[in-house]
Chains A and B, each alone.
Chain A
Amino acid sequence: MAILVIAEHDNNTIAPATLNTVAAAVKIGGDIHVLVAGQGIGALAESAAKIAGVAKVLLADNPAYAHQLPENIAPLVVSQVIEQHTIYSHVLAPATSNGKNILPRVAAALDVDQISEIIAVQGADTFKRPIYAGNAIATVQSSAVVKVITVRATGFDPVAADGGCAAIEAIATVHDAGISRFVSEELAVSDRPELTAAKIVVSGGRGMQNGDNFQYLYSLADKLGAGVGASRAAVDAGFVPNDMQVGQTGKIVAPQLYIAVGISGAIQHLAGMKDSKVIVAINKDEEAPIFQVADYGLVADLFEAVPQLEQTL
Chain B
Amino acid sequence: MNYVLNDRESAKIVEFIKNFARKNSLWVLAYGTGCGAIEIPPTMTSRYDAERFSVRGAATPRQADVLLITGYLSVKTLKRVIRSYEQMQDPKYVIGFGSCTINGGMYWDSYNTIKQLDLYIPVDVYINGCMPRPEAVLAGFAKLQELIGRGQANGWRHYKENLEWYRQNQRKLIKNWKMPDYNW
Q: Do A and B come from one complex?
A: no
Chain B residues proximal to chain A, CB less than 8 Å: none
